[in-house]
């Protein structure tokens, strides 16, 4: 005998749990089915990749490693010193990270109870349709019937099956990389994308010798290349990360105490030995086990669930959001799609503009951007003007000891409408919010130039960059 709901959400990551909460707020009888488990693998854990093995734990480790690095290298200029040697306890750092994860995943359980969302632990698959209701089987034996289904099954790490198996002993994916309890002496990373740079930074700050092997010939090709070049210089020349671009992997061998990687760059053969190797070469959508074939759910040629601009699949009242569909694989994108789908089910007309999704890389300095890069504007033949300003003379940045980086504002040459904002510097993960608001509200560089920015703040660099668009920077 199946239980009947208005909305069934499959997956409780940042896409699914937010969709479920918004659907419940709108008065729908809602169930959320999720198969996620905690780190020990012995209890359900809501929150998906983001809370358990993604955004949140990685940022906790970034913070711990930044403190350790600052204590070693930056405190002295503040007149702070300590006698004896500075100690670092990796297990304690992981314990703190786990406590943050548990607090947040437990928080979703509370939110589900508060919003009267039925939470089911298990793996759901489509069984068919009865009348206007979709039927779902859950592997714990439950049967669900629902008028609307929101698929939010997320993504999993892409592997290198032809070269090596992810053992999470010496060859690690994101889960393994987040749970090392000792600092590896030599750490290899395949992929200089977001995970490679963030996790590479964590372990490099803690003392590992980090070598990143990247297939693409350009560094951070999706970012504005002026910012990417500046980042590359900081990471390699100042911080000592070794980053090889244009790498072709030939062989990876895991043995008891480490990993060996044979690769070539520009036709030259190399072999590197590492204690641990992180594979971070992107993620793939999770659709297996969903019973897509039972109901004729369309999957596109890249393995994503095919959806239109409003997250509708080819099946009536079946929606899909987040990492399992096209667009950037980011938590905030998944959540906004979740809100929008719940509201569409309620007959509302929300909009999610994927062109205004902010991107952040939580390195030091942080990299953040929204909108078009200079390369994209050139390729599209759009005439633009630009203003840049640096953090070097910003009072707040100097006080923080983080006076590095640049902000660049790109605006339409005729209308002055802001088309893109690109940042590298301290706390640009926070500063980017103003730029997102500017793009969302179709603001001009003149608008940002006229807004009063508090002094002394890092946001004054964005103000100056906006002034610089029309060559009237006051401090430049």
Of 46, 213, 290, 427, the residue at the interface with ligand NAI (CB under 6 A) is 213
The binder of 150, among ligand FAD, ligand NAI, none, by C-beta within 5 to 8 A per type, is none
Print the binding letters for residues 191-210 with ligand FAD: x by CB under 6 A, - otherwise.
----x---------------
Distance CA 9, CA 153 (A): 9
**CB of 39 or CB of 283, closer to ligand NAI:** 283
When asked if residue 277 is in the footprint of ligand FAD (CB under 6 A), the reply is no
Q: ∠ CA(383), CA(384), CA(386), 5° rounding?
A: 160
Binding residues for ligand NAI restricted to 337-396, rule: CB under 6 A: 360-362
Distance CA 305, CA 323 (A): 10
Distance CA 195, CA 282 (A): 8
Query: Hey, is 473 helix, strand or coil?
Result: coil
Helix 55-73 and helix 90-114, axial crossing angle in degrees, nearest 10: 140
- Burial of residue 441 (CB within 10 Å: 0-12, 13-18, 19+) is exposed
Torsions phi, psi of 271, nearest 5?
Answer: -135, 135
What are the residues facing 186 on neighbouring strands?
209
Query: Pick the catalytic residue: 211, 455, 463, 475?
Result: 455
Binding residues for ligand FAD restricted to 87-126, rule: CB under 6 A: 123-124
State the alpha helices, DSSP H only, in 147-186. 174-177
The least distance separating ligand NAI from the CB of residue 333, rounded to whole angstroms, comes to 9
Give 222-278 as a DSSP string.
Answer: TS-HHHHHHHHHIIIIIT--EEE-SEEEEEEEEETTEEEEEEEETTEEEEEEESEEE
Q: Which stretch binds ligand FAD (CB under 6 A): 153-161, 250-258, 298-306, 365-373?
A: 153-161
Please indicate if the annotation marks 330 as binding a ligand. yes
The least distance separating ligand NAI from the CB of residue 212, rounded to whole angstroms, comes to 9
The binder of 190, among ligand FAD, ligand NAI, none, by C-beta within 5 to 8 A per type, is ligand NAI
Distance CA 372, CA 370 (A): 7
Of 30, 49, 119, 170, the residue at the interface with ligand FAD (CB under 6 A) is 49
The least distance separating ligand NAI from the CB of residue 195, rounded to whole angstroms, comes to 3
When asked if residue 231 is in the footprint of ligand NAI (CB under 6 A), the reply is no
Please indicate if the annotation marks 196 as binding a ligand. yes
Residue environment code for 312-342, b if the CB has 16+ CB neighbours within 10 A, otherwise e = bbebebbbbbbbbbebebbbbbbbbbbbbbb
Task: Identify the H or E element spanning 439.
Answer: helix 428-440
The least distance separating ligand NAI from the CB of residue 64, rounded to whole angstroms, comes to 17
Strands 171-172 and 276-279: parallel
Of 18, 19, 149, 330, the residue at the interface with ligand NAI (CB under 6 A) is 330
When asked if residue 329 is in the footprint of ligand FAD (CB under 6 A), the reply is yes
When asked if residue 56 is in the footprint of ligand NAI (CB under 6 A), the reply is no
Is 455 catalytic? The answer is yes
Instruction: Give me the sheet containing 366-371, strands edge to edge.
Output: 359-361, 366-371, 418-425, 405-412, 384-390
When asked if residue 318 is in the footprint of ligand NAI (CB under 6 A), the reply is no
The least distance separating ligand FAD from the CB of residue 424, rounded to whole angstroms, comes to 16
State the catalytic residues: 455
List residues near ligand NAI by CB under 6 A.
190-196, 198, 213-216, 247, 249, 280-283, 328-330, 360-362
Q: Using CB under 6 A, list all residues that contact ligand FAD.
A: 10-16, 33-36, 48-50, 54-55, 58, 123-124, 152-155, 174, 195, 286, 289-290, 322-323, 329-332, 334
């Amino acid at each position: 005998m199946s239980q009947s709901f208005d909305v069934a959400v499959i997956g409780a990551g940042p896409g699914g749990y937010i969709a479920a909460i918004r659907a419940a707020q709108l008065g729908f009888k809602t169930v959320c089915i999720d198969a996620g488990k905690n780190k020990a693998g012995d209890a359900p854990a809501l929150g998906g990749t983001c809370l358990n093995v993604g955004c949140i734990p990685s940022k906790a480790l970034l913070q711990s490693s930044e403190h350790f690095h600052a204590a070693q290298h930056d405190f002295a200029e503040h007149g702070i010193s300590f006698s004896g040697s500075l100690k670092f306890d990796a297990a304690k750092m992981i314990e703190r990270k786990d406590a943050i994860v548990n607090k947040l995943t437990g928080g979703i359980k509370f939110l589900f109870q508060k919003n009267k969302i039925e939470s089911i632990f298990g793996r759901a698959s489509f069984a068919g349709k009865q009348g206007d209701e979709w039927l779902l089987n859950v592997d714990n034996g439950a049967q669900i019937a629902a008028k609307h289904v929101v698929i939010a099954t997320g993504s999993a790490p892409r592997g290198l099956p032809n070269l090596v198996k992810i053992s999470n002993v010496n060859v690690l994916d994101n889960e393994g990389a987040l749970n090392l309890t000792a600092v590896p002496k030599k750490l290899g990373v395949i992929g200089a994308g977001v995970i490679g740079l963030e996790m590479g930074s964590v372990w490099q700050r803690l003392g590992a010798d980090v070598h990143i092997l990247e297939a693409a010939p350009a560094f951070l090709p999706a970012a504005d290349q002026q910012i990417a070049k500046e980042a590359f210089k900081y990471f390699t020349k100042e911080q000592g990360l070794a980053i090889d671009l244009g790498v072709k992997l030939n062989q990876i061998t895991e043995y008891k105490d480490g990993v060996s990687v044979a690769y070539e760059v520009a036709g030259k053969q190399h072999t590197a030995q590492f204690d641990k190797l992180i594979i971070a070469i992107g993620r793939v959508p999770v659709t297996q086990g969903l019973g897509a074939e039972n109901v004729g759910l369309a999957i596109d040629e890249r393995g994503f669930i095919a959806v239109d601009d409003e997250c509708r699949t080819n099946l009536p009242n079946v929606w899909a959001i987040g990492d399992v569909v096209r667009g950037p694989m980011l938590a905030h994108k998944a959540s906004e799609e979740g809100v929008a789908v719940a509201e569409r089910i309620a007959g509302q007309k929300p909009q999610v503009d994927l062109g205004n999704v902010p991107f952040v890389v939580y390195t030091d300095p942080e990299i953040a951007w929204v909108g078009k890069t200079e390369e994209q504007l050139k390729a599209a033949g759009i005439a633009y003007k630009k203003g840049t300003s640096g953090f070097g003379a910003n009072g707040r940045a100097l006080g923080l000891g983080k006076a590095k980086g640049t902000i660049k504002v790109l605006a339409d040459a005729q209308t002055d409408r802001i088309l893109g904002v690109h940042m590298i510097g301290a706390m640009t993960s926070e500063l980017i919010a103003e730029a997102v608001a500017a793009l969302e509200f179709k603001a001009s560089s003149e608008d940002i130039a006229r807004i009063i920015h508090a002094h002394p703040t890092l946001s004054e660099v964005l103000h100056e960059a906006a002034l610089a668009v029309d060559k009237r920077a006051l401090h430049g």
